[in-house]
Structure 1
Amino acid sequence: MRSVRARAALGATLVVAVALTAAGLAVLLVLRGNLTDRAGLEAEVAAREVAGQLALGATYAELELGDEETHPVQVTDEEGRVVAVSKDLEAVSGTGTAEVDPVPSAPVPSPGDDDDDDDDDASTPPRGEVSSDQPDFANGTATVDGETADYRFASVELTTDEDVTLTVHAGAPLAAEQEAVDTVRNSMLTGLPLMLLVVAGVTWLVTRRALRPVEGIRRELAAITASEDLGRRVPEPDSRDEIARLARTTNETLTVLEASVDRQRRFVADASHELRSPIASLRTQLEVGEAHPELLDVPGAVADTVRLQGLAADLLLLARLDAGERPGRAAVDLGALVREEVSQRAADRIPPEASVADLGPLEVAGSRGQLARVLGNLLDNAERHAERAVAVSVRADRGDVLVEVTDDGAGVPEAERDRIFERFVRLDDARSRDEGGAGLGLAIARDVVSRHGGTLAVGTASAGGARFTLRLPSAGREPAADGG
């Protein structure tokens, strides 16, 4: 069963069926119990009425047993022998004995009989005692005048004035109880299927209406997949339920996916453009060298090759970062790393000056190679734009390690401070220089720092140039944010 509507309708129907069945059984049990107790009460009243007559001294022959068909009566003595029964009682069960023929027994004295005690008041009739204990109840059958029916029997004990213990068994018919239970049961058996059909139909319609927006989302997603047009969006219902949130989340995902695909396309286009220039230059120089070896510009070819190699390395690193590559968690001493990077640039156009604080921990967790790449890119950028001086400092700051790279160049306009970290972005002054890079260094630096749980920002240095501030969490402290 692949349809959500069908599963929902079936599930709701099963739940309702179980609930109604349990409720119906409970109703039948309560109804049967109440009617049985009512019949037991009637039987008890009839039994006590007969017991009262016997306690007042009535003989068995003088007993008024009422309606034999409604309340059949059987009286037994201490030995379980039947001493009196209702008229036309032919068979009985549930009273302790199935006998319906009275045995010869001493009659109970009538209210007017005298005894041998001269001290007794002749005008006071002898009296027995009816037990006040709760009578015993049992279900059984009785055949009266050829008709057999079910009865609820109550058994009441009494003691006559002659100290004889008798038990009166009186019954009340259970026909009304059985008829009521059968009527209710038949009504339930008739109404249950109809109610289940209504529940299934209503659930099917409600679920269909509720899932209609989902079908619209599915169709639109299928159309987007077929057309590969990520600019389309799925319809968002006006409701505030889970389906509306699903539609909004889907559209947000499509927006992020569209931006990612556009960024990837721009990346491929920019990479192709940046690679075309050094490759074309290198090819031209090699072709000229092949035709005129004396005109081969070997230093220029080497420079183009180095530039091409660096650009390829940058593109590969960006591809790994975009693929979600995580940095290592080795301890890296940023102070030592800065000294090492600065020492390798002694012959640069503007050798940087390093200032490393001796106080506080300067170790961070991450990839030494990637962090060295970040420092190298920042120093290259500062040297490219500096006039006379480039400085780098490292110090501990509130549980972080802070690295600042400054120059005395023109600085970065405030409107361009976020844009310079985008890929293949170069400001106009950088484009006008031959030594300008491809615009990937700062983008790589921010991506690497972000994946190390740090931040990279640009501001204005005291000398008027640019100040790049790199902040990384110290080793042993969890990053404040996951940049991956």
Structure 2
Amino acid sequence: MADRPPAGAPAGAAHHRLRATVHRHLTRHPRAAALVDRLTPRSVRARTTLAACASVAVVLSLASTAVILLLRVNLERTVEAGAREQAQAVAHLATDGHLTSPLPLDHGTDFIQVVDANGTVVAASQNLTGHPPLAPADHPDGHRTFNLDTPGHAHHKRVTSIAATTPTGPVTVYVGASLRTADAAEDLTTAALAVLSAVLLFTVGALTWRATGRALRPVEAIRAEVAAIGDRDLNRRVPEPRSDDEIARLADTMNAMLQRLEAAGARQRRFIADASHELRSPLTVLRTQLEVALAHSDPDVHTDLVAGALEDTERLQALATDLLLLARLDTTDHGWPDEPVDLADLVHTTVAARGAEPHPVAVHAPMAITVPGNPLWLRRLLTNLLDNAQRHARSYITVRLTTDRASGDAVLEVTNDGPPIEPADREKIFERFARLDDARSRDDGGTGLGLPIARDIAAIHKGTLTVLDSPGATTFRTRLPIPPAPPRDVPTGCR
């Protein structure tokens, strides 16, 4: 009683209780659990074939049952109609007083018996001559039919009873018709449907097994190829089937992923190589300076060498800081920073905090523009753009903050009057350690990471950083989305 769901309980709760009961039973019987686990199909091919066969079996069972029931009903109606006609003919004879004994049997009729109100047999067919009145299991009511086993016969009968009035009183006419033909037809149909269903189930299972195997063959090829691909074989690709279906799209997606992984691995190796090269140059210079300082005892030489070593140390520190920030930007799962940042205030404070610069910086940020973001990262973005502009400017730098009404973005532009960047190089400068002029960049102290860091910070804030065509100048434009203002609540009663 504890496992029985209450009345009105949902079907899902009953199913859950059934699964819990089965699980408890299997837990108590490890052998049964092992047998169930062994018999449970594990492959998609086997499960699909089993599901297809089970579905077809259910449909065939329902259809076969419906066909047999319809056939049985139609055959019984036919037999009953013949028996009723015979009974009506005998009733007319009884009404006219022309009953004779024995009564003749029509084709399809097994026996006839006429019984009066006292239970005396008035007339009967030859096979029931001398037999007592039939005792049906139920009392007849008009043309009601019922089943009856006649003496000496074990097969099924359909008996029809009709009341009639004779000159000597009322009588009841019983006419029995054999259902042997209906039973034989039902048995034959059942056997034929069973054989046909077995053949159909075998055909469906075989076709499903074969079709599923052919459909999953490319998947197995993809799995085997992916399993064989190692971290050093990212140039390999999975085979793509010629069909235009889900498996072909899966193979195309896998190849696209492998291509991205290969590109990411190549970028990582190139980044490591570039970082090693960038670190090796100042370390080599620093070591040379220290070795020279140890070899000379002149204080003036020591001072110059220590000053140079300090510059190289600062360069190494800046490079290490940029590398750590890039690693953080690459590995951290960033959500969109949502701290409100006033870009106008950020621009003014950043420029003012830089102090004396080789070139003056003109700021045009007339209005406050607030965007969600990380103020430290956005300050780093602007700082990197200003550092790049100071290295390449000839006489001036301009920082302009506006809004784009069409897109609803905040637009931050840093312009310098340095040499223009060729269109072919406008994406290259955002690659890590990329330099258009190696000698000049090293002399100016650039690490080749400032612009890539700035673009990554803009991307984390769902923005963009691009280079624009400007006559006689170079402009770096940053776009940052401004979230829409929340709707104002209108007080009740205001129009």
Determine if the TM-score, normalized by the shorter chain, exceeds 0.5.
yes
Which SS does the other structure have where 1:23 is aligned?
helix
Identity %: 46
Inter-CA distance 67–442: structure 2 relative to 1 (3 Å threshold): same
Q: Which residue of 2 aligns with 1:107?
A: none
Shift of 1:468: 0.8
Contact between 1:54 and 1:63, CA under 8 Å: does it hold in 2? no
Indicate the SS of the match to 2:235: coil
One-letter amino acid of the structure 1 residue matched with residue 180 of structure 2 = A
Question: Is the aligned partner of 1:214 residue 2:215?
Answer: no
1:126-160 deviation digits (Å, cap 9, x = unpaired):
xxxxxxx97211122212xx444321112223344
What amino acid sits opposite 1:253 in the alignment? Answer: M
Check the 8 A contact 1:408/1:466 in 2, yes or no.
yes
**Would the aligned equivalents of 1:460 and 1:467 in 2 still touch at CA under 8 Å?**
yes
Question: Is 1:342–1:353's contact at 8 Å kept on the other side of the alignment?
Answer: no
Deviation at 1:442, TM superposition (A): 0.7
Asked if 2 retains the 8 angstrom alpha-carbon contact of 1:366 and 1:452, the reply is yes
Deviation by residue 1:105-133 (Cα, 9 ceiling, x = unmatched): xxxxxxxxxxxxxxxxxxxxxxxxxxxx9
Query: Map of 1:290-329 to 2, 5 A cutoff?
Result: 290-292=294-296, 294=299, 295-296=301-302, 297-326=305-334, 327-329=336-338
2:412 matched to which residue of 1?
403
**Do the aligned partners of residues 148 and 5 (structure 1) sit closer, same or farther apart at CA in structure 2, a change above 3 Å counting?**
closer
Partner of 1:416: 425
Q: 1:419-447 deviations in whole A, cap 9, x for unaligned?
A: 11111111127646501412111111111
Question: Distance in 2 between the 1:66 and 1:186 partners?
Answer: 32
1:201 maps to: 206
Q: 1:161 to 1:466 in 2, by over 3 A?
A: farther
CA-CA distance at 1:18 after TM superposition: 2.1
Q: Distance in 2 between matches of 1:411 and 1:436?
A: 20
Bigger mean CA deviation after superposition, 28-37 or 469-478:
469-478
User: Partner amino acid for 2:173?
Assistant: V
Aligned residues of 1:68 and 1:87 also touching (Cα < 8 A): no
Give the partner amino acid of 1:393: R
Deviations 1:149-204 (A, max 9, x none): 32111222334467x44332211110001111111222233343333333222222
Residue 468, structure 1, aligned to residue 468, structure 2: no
Worse-matched range after superposition: 62-71 or 333-342: 62-71
Structure 1 residue 304, shift from structure 2 partner = 1.6
Partner of 1:233: 237
Per the alignment, residue 51 of structure 1 pairs with 91
Which residue identity is paired with 2:105?
A: G
SS of 2:354 mapped into structure 1: coil
- Distance of 2:125 and 2:285 partners within structure 1: 130
Structure with bigger RCO (C-alpha 8 Å, 6+ apart): 1
Q: Greater shift after overlay, 227-236 or 177-186? A: 227-236
Report how far residue 228 of structure 1 moved: 2.8
Which of 68, 76, 86 does residue 125 from structure 2 map onto? Answer: 86
**Are the aligned partners of 1:365 and 1:476 in contact in 2 as well (CA < 8 Å)?**
no
| Amino acid of the structure 2 residue aligned with 1:422 | E
Aligned to 2:370: 363
Task: Give runs of aligned pairs for residues 31-70 of structure 1, distance below 5 A.
Answer: 31-59=71-99, 61=100, 64-66=103-105, 70=109
Q: CA deviation at 1:4?
A: 2.6
1:340-370 Cα offsets, whole Å, 9 max, x none, are 1110223111131111122xx5011011111
Give the aligned partner of residue 17 of structure 1.
Answer: 57
Residue 172 of structure 2: SS of its match in structure 1?
strand
Q: Which is higher, the Rg of structure 1 or of structure 2?
A: 1
Letter aligned with residue 77 of structure 2:
D
Q: Which runs of 5+ in 2 are unaligned?
A: 1-40, 487-495
Match of residue 258 from structure 1: 262
What secondary structure does 2:97 align onto? coil
SS at match of 2:240: coil
The structure richer in helix per residue is 2
Are the equivalent residues in 2 in contact too, given 1:401–1:473 (CA < 8 A)? yes
Is the Cα contact below 8 Å between 1:331 and 1:364 reproduced in 2? yes
Q: What is the CA–CA distance in structure 1 between the aligned matches of 2:457 and 2:342, rounded to whole Å? A: 17
Contact 1:50-1:65 at 8 Å conserved across structures: no
**In 2 relative to 1, CA 93–12 (structure 1 residues): closer, same or farther, beyond 3 Å?**
farther
Shift, 1:324, TM fit = 4.0
Q: C-alpha distance in 2, partners of 1:231/1:96?
A: 87
- Hey, what's the Cα distance between the residues in 2 that align with 1:263 and 1:80? 109
CA change 1:378–1:183 in 2 (3 A) is same
Q: CA deviation at 1:477?
A: 6.7
SS in 2 for 1:236: coil
Q: Which residue does 1:190 correspond to in 2?
A: 195
Q: Is the alpha carbon distance of 1:57 and 1:309 closer, same or farther for their aligned partners in structure 2, counting shifts above 3 Å?
A: same
Partner of 1:169: helix, strand, or coil?
A: strand
Separation of aligned partners in 2, 1:250 and 1:234: 7
> CA separation in 2, counterparts of 1:380 and 1:159?
124
Q: Deviations over 1:436-482 (max 9, x none)?
A: 412111111111101101111111335x110111111124579xxxx
1:319 and 1:33 map into 2 onto residues whose CA distance is 81
* Equivalent of 2:253 in 249, 256, 259: 249
Post-superposition CA distance 1:64-84 (Å, at most 9, x none): 342599332233445766544
Aligned to 1:109: none
Distance 1:301 1:80 in 2: 135
| SS in structure 2 at match of 1:395 | strand
Instruction: Number of aligned residue pairs: give it.
Output: 436
Aligned position for 1:113: none
Alignment partner of 2:398: what SS?
A: strand
- Residues 33 and 73 (structure 1 numbering): CA distance in 2 closer, same or farther, change over 3 Å? same
Q: Which whole-Å deviations, capped at 9, do the CAs of 1:194-215 have from their partners, x for residues lacking one?
A: 3333322222222222222222
CA contact (8 A) 2:109 2:175 kept: no
Match of 1:223 in 2: 228
Moved more, 290-299 or 12-21: 290-299
Shift of 1:245: 1.2
Is the alpha carbon distance of 1:413 and 1:136 closer, same or farther for their aligned partners in structure 2, counting shifts above 3 Å?
same
Q: 1: distance between equivalents of 2:135 and 2:194?
A: 32
Instruction: State how far apart, in whole Å, the 2-side matches of 1:214 and 1:407 are.
Output: 56
> For the residues of structure 2 that align with 1:408 and 1:54, how far apart are their CA atoms?
129
- Residue ranges of structure 1 left out of the alignment (5+ in a row): 99-132, 479-484
1:283 is matched with 287
Give the partner amino acid of 1:311.
L
Q: Equivalents in 2 of 1:134, 1:377: separation in Å?
A: 107
Pairing 1:91-130 to 2, within 5 Å after superposition: 92=134, 94=136, 96=138
The answer for the alignment partner of 2:449 in structure 1 is: 440
Cα distance change, pair 470–5 in 1 and its aligned pair in 2 (3 A): same
CA contact (8 A) 1:93 1:142 kept: no
Partner of 2:395: 388
Of 69-78 and 307-316, deviating more is 69-78
User: Aligned pair 1:179/2:188, yes or no?
Assistant: no
Structure 1 stretch 441-450 or stretch 9-18: which is displaced more?
A: 9-18
CA–CA distance in 2 between the matches of 1:387 and 1:81?
Answer: 136
Q: TM-score, normalised by structure 1?
A: 0.83
Alignment-derived partner of residue 72 in structure 1: 111
Q: 1:310 to 1:161 in 2, by over 3 A?
A: farther
